[in-house]
Structure 1
Amino acid sequence: MNPKLSLSSTATMNNGHKIPLLAIGMGGMGQGHSTPKGKTAQDIVLWALESGYRHIDTATLYQNEEDIGIDQLYESTLKSVETSLSKFQTSYLDLVLVHSPKPGTQNRLECYKALQELVRQEKIKSIGVSNYRVNHLKELMDTNPEIIPTVNQIEVHPWHTRKEIVSYCIEHNIIIEAFSPLTRGKKFNDPTLIEITKKYNKSPAQILIRWGLQNNFIVLPKSMNKEHIVNNTNVYDFEIEQEDMETLGNLDESFITTGKDASNWD
């Protein structure tokens, strides 16, 4: 068993700040992938905090910031963060990401420039990107940014391992945040996964979370179910053997849970 991993385990980002390895995702979930709001969102966060989570992942797009505690272009990004600070009722945000590369080169570069300014104003501690492919990361790095992205949030699980992007991020000391690490449950009946769950006497969700943790990813599972939220933290009393890690890692079939690869934008 790896004694280094626990619910309080963190990774150190390239700016020196720490980030919890396990987070609760607050995006689309449940039937129809609806976004939790109101009391539902509040309950999820409460259950997560009671279970020991200290990392909550949300976005302006989800429209539930007020319940749990970015626009692109320079000026709109500044305004968006101010709005988020007001909704969260806090003086700073720990981590803010460019949500996607979709709006195009100029917009995403201006957005990132604004985020750097907000770090200088001490309104944000850390900044990063989401759904960035290698070409998007190179585009940003070619501008010689004063602040290197701390994380890149992408869909990662054994059936979509994103090896090229992961390798580039490792090379540049950018942490991978894995969203949809549980494949929205779509691969829970995979025969290989089922065999591994039997070996370790763990659920498919627990195996997939542990796989992500042992790959040094920040893992962002989602659930609207209290029992599942709690069970998703029970991943520190075992370690997946290297042979099984490799078996899971060889399942790659470029499977995208949403049916559309958000990182394919130019």
Structure 2
Amino acid sequence: MKVVENLQGTLTLNNGLVIPQVGLGVYKMTDEAEANFAIQSALRMGYRLIDTAAIYENEQIVGQAIKESGVNREEVFLTTKVWNSDQGYDETLKAFDTSLNKLQTNYLDLYLIHWPGKSKEKYRETWRALEQLYSEGAVKAIGVCNFQVHHLEGLLAVCNEVPAINQIENHPYLTQEKVRKYCQEKNIMVEAWSPIARNRLANEPTLNHIAKKHNKSVSQIILRWHLQNGTVVIPKSIHPERMKENSELFDFQLSLEDMKNINALNKGERIGPDPDQFENGFAN
């Protein structure tokens, strides 16, 4: 498994596009000044992947921060997502235009279906719209979020383009091995949201033991575990010191025993909702 060597290190998606393995998630960053400062701080540090979504209500802030950062748009891998209430072919195309305008850009690097919802037909129609946008060059890659194996099977049965990414809740308490294995078989990159479980594992004994051994924080151990699993990570922080910590993952390596011990922490425990039950009202 390839592991990148620095913050600009990239993995290659199934269509040949490269994506930074470590990025910044901006969920719940709605204070304009705070979010702008956080995003620009991340870009100054060398982060080049920014992950937002229509439902976060901060696409305008993200677009403005990138513009003001002085970093060329072409150097930033920009992701957003279509929300559940905007699913459907025509609705998705309209939602995409709205997102593009707010982000102040003329293309996206990655556009994702945020949740599968309970209608197979609906997410298939949404995917058809994403394929249209991809064929037009309005977006460089398309993918999904929170898709379980049966959702992916339902999509792959009819799609022209295999999703480049499946962004899922993934951390040591929810290792998602079945989904990850299926994605690996289908050459779909896994991207982890809530990769450090919103810091709920800070006192976990096994992780603290491994962290002490490597002279790293628990968060750094978890993020390194993701990297060695070949997963893209988008930890969210508004604090520059935490962003810096989250980026310092390249001067140590977890042993096979470390990896095995972290895998053994799996409880199947979600922070977010079960994708099979969820319809509306929650964002990741």
Q: TM-score, normalised by structure 2?
A: 0.87
Give distance in 1, aligned partners of 2:271 and 2:243. 20
Give distance in 1, aligned partners of 2:114 and 2:242. 27
Aligned to 2:251: 237
The correspondence of residues 204-223 of structure 1 with structure 2, limited to 5 A, is 204-223=218-237
Task: Give 3-state SS (helix, strand or coil) of 1:106's partner.
Answer: helix
**How many percent identity over aligned positions?**
40
Q: Is the 8 A contact 1:96 1:124 kept in 2?
A: yes
Give distance in 2, aligned partners of 1:78 and 1:152. 20
Aligned to 2:207: 193
Q: Which runs of 5+ in 1 are unaligned?
A: 29-34
Aligned to 2:68: none
Alpha-carbon distance, 1:37 to partner: 3.4
Aligned to 1:114: 129
Give distance in 1, aligned partners of 2:138 and 2:5. 30
Give distance in 2, aligned partners of 1:86 and 1:39. 20
Aligned to 1:138: 153
2:22 is the alignment partner of 1:22 = yes
Q: Is the 8 A contact 2:118 2:276 kept in 1?
A: no
Aligned to 2:7: 7
Task: Give 3-state SS (helix, strand or coil) of 1:232's partner.
Answer: helix
After superposition, the C-alpha distances for 1:52-80 in whole angstroms (9 at most, x for unaligned) are 11000000010100000122111110011
Alpha-carbon distance, 1:3 to partner: 7.9
After superposition, the C-alpha distances for 1:115-144 in whole angstroms (9 at most, x for unaligned) are 00011111111000000000000000111x
2:165 is the alignment partner of 1:151 = yes
Give distance in 2, aligned partners of 1:14 and 1:3. 17
Give distance in 2, aligned partners of 1:3 and 1:59. 27
Aligned to 1:256: 270
Q: Which runs of 5+ in 2 are unaligned?
A: 64-81, 280-284
Aligned to 1:225: 239
Residue 190 of structure 1 aligns to which amino acid in structure 2?
E
Q: Is the 8 A contact 2:22 2:47 kept in 1?
A: yes
Aligned to 1:161: 175
Give distance in 2, aligned partners of 1:122 and 1:63. 25
Residue 44 of structure 1 aligns to which amino acid in structure 2?
A
Question: Which of residues 86, 94, 100 in structure 1 aligns to 2:109?
Answer: 94
Aligned to 2:62: 68
The RMSD of aligned alpha carbons is 1.5
Question: Which of residues 176, 186, 209 in structure 2 aligns to 1:172?
Answer: 186
Q: Is the 8 A contact 1:100 1:263 kept in 2?
A: no
Aligned residues: 257
Q: Where has structure 1 moved over 2 Å in runs of 4 or more?
A: 2-5, 260-266
Q: TM-score, normalised by structure 1?
A: 0.93
Alpha-carbon distance, 1:113 to partner: 0.3
Residue 61 of structure 1 aligns to which amino acid in structure 2?
I
After superposition, the C-alpha distances for 1:203-229 in whole angstroms (9 at most, x for unaligned) are 111111111001000011111211101
Residue 120 of structure 1 aligns to which amino acid in structure 2?
S
Q: Is the 8 A contact 2:192 2:232 kept in 1?
A: yes
Q: Is the 8 A contact 1:176 1:217 kept in 2?
A: yes
2:35 is the alignment partner of 1:41 = yes
Give distance in 2, aligned partners of 1:264 and 1:7. 36
